[in-house]
Structure 1
């Protein structure tokens, strides 16, 4: 953590800058110093060599014997003063005199410097002696007599003192550089602290803000850029606090709206992961909050499968896709998907809105079926009336008996249409809430007795046994005519499908909890197939369509009966077993008061 602080980084930067500057200056200084010492030393040795070449020129011209004696006396003092080894060579490169080892006199030197000097050039080179590893300056100048080269002077000067002096200067410079770095480090730390102190305070405040504490304030010590940064940070803190409060309020409002929505809402990111799901959507999909973060594509196949769902409609609407699916089979939902703009993601997310359209689907299907059924029911009698009317117009009226039969058919079909229209009007009044019940208090015994009296003759003619039983007489507050209509419809249906010598019974009893009256009508007729039972209360629904029409039924009787019973706050259920008979159970609230 220490190496990641701004103060440490600033200190290191200062040190590196100073070090770089010192190294740059040092390199230039040392290079210049080295060149200065070497150049001065080279000039000195060159001057001595040139002077020596002028001095030894005269003895060399007097002859070898004379020159050898004179050379020794000249070379020895110069060698002691300069510390260099001096070689005097003739024009063939043979050593004729030296201040060094006298045994090399008469030997030929083949150094490149000597060769250059014998050609009339001044040559020099700094090289390392392989015998002792020391650096030496090898310098040779030609000896000219009357513009003719008579030999050469070579000096081999050690440079240890020169480089020793340079090394001492480098050590002094390095010591100064190190001291400067230490002082710079101290000053850099102080300067960095003055810069990073306010930044550290702002950082602490920012951490507190990240933890939810919006009461923190940065203290401002100066009016410079850092002070302006602190003031701006304080202003940002206030605005952030206001924005978060506003966002939290909007979030609570959104959560309240989402929680109370009847439509399911699911939001996903660009990768299809669920970000949000409201209670309605969880109810539709039978999931909980744990699915947040999972992919929606992993969830949907488990819900919308071939066994549990059926795709009904798919269409494109702008950027939305609307899908109506049955989920499960008895429910119908519409899913609308809308694309969301995602500025910081590669792909856009989506919002899916699930709406339960079961009632709409059922009502639409019922409307279509109702229109088709009404059209069918009206078309048959109208076609019959038209056909018989045309026959009468074409001459059948001349035959009195035939005309009478035709008119009876027309009258019968007209009555059928009247009954159909009457039933439709009654259902319409129940649907719109305009049907008014004229309730009165009546006993169950009276209801059953009146029913038996109304059907006494019909039962006798049908050779069917009609049994009534009132286990406990109770009062109900009902619309007498409407309840009679329900009972008449049920008994009429039983008579239609109960064969001769069969039995029809009605039983009245009281159920104690909750206290209500139960009317049970049973017959020993042909019964209703199990697959037909869920639909017997549907409008225009007939179990045996051909026979029902022959017997004058409209297919609306049980629908009207259910509407009447439900309007009284009761229930009606049908239980049947094909081939063994049918049982209709009607419950009505019991009247607890006294009969007026």
Structure 2
């Protein structure tokens, strides 16, 4: 990985860590702010409320003590004693004028107090409130009514709430300290948590870049929390599927080349036969038509294989149309016979027609006489009449299935053996059945599970004698899956092999 990519990865990791840390800090300080508001309300309703009730009680006691001693003109606050701490007490007449002051300030004598608490007390009600004075002190004013010999009056107390302020400040310091400690813990936790998240993400990023550069075997070790482990497992699954897809595409290209050899071989056989034995004038037109047909088949197969390749990658869907399966079978077999097969090989074409075989007999004058292959057209019993029968199917897929099954049968059938190709529409089932059998050596049971694998060969040593790259049956299996068919194999060592392909819901219809 280059330095630019590594630096970008570090930036992403740091960004995630800081974002998590700031998020935790935000949550913590929002909680602290709510806690401060709650504590302020608690202080106001609880501590300050308790102080207010205490000052009310003390003011009433002072008023009672003054009345017991003969009134404000006889009893002095200094003599009474028991004044509240950090407080100033004043005795007022019915007009709110100061009669006595615990601070003994001569300037306050007969001075009228205009506080709203005093007005409430002179009206016969208790009054209190808290204030912040210009010097920064926090005080509470309390006034209670006191009737001096029917002339009215009040007791006023002003107390500095410094002790409550100090208590509140101590609590706030504790809250702030707790917030700082919580913030540090949150940052450490966020750093650790972001690391558990960012490291798996960084591993995924590196693995993705390696895959982009062609290292399709790149994988990650799922780690971290459950989500990142699931993400890592999903990435590995995706990478495995991508690797399989790419390998499948490469193998399919080889399979395509394998399939294109047949028409090329047919054209070569035609041209060589013309070189060996120049055709008569009346035969020339048919030979030219045969070559043209093979060229068109080659072109069609090439274009269809490209479409099928796009279908495998999800870029397109296979094109179905009404086809005559009997006609395609005949074209495939004839193309293979023209291309050359083993000597003394008997090819039997069976169908459920009542009047003729699957393929119309065609002149074999263009076939090299050295092929010595005999094609026999047979009829079967009283099953459904197939003349002109057509079904909805992708012609390329059907051609691939027939061609590769036939090639496989011919490949493993010894000279003098027999290959049988049959197709039925059973009356009791809504299906179409294709069978290709041979009289070859059969397939050992231990190989049955792998015969449809790409490039798998039962006996690699026989590759030169039989030819092929081990792709034929793999093509058949894939084409069956794409066309909705199911393939079965029956074999007996030394007794040949039968491949059966069944397509459900394929009933013949006439165009």
Same topology, TM > 0.5: no
Which is higher, the Rg of structure 1 or of structure 2? 1
TM-score norm. by structure 2 comes to 0.43
TM-score norm. by structure 1 comes to 0.37
**Larger RCO: 1 or 2 (CA < 8 Å, sep 6+):** 2
* Structure showing the higher strand proportion among its residues: 1
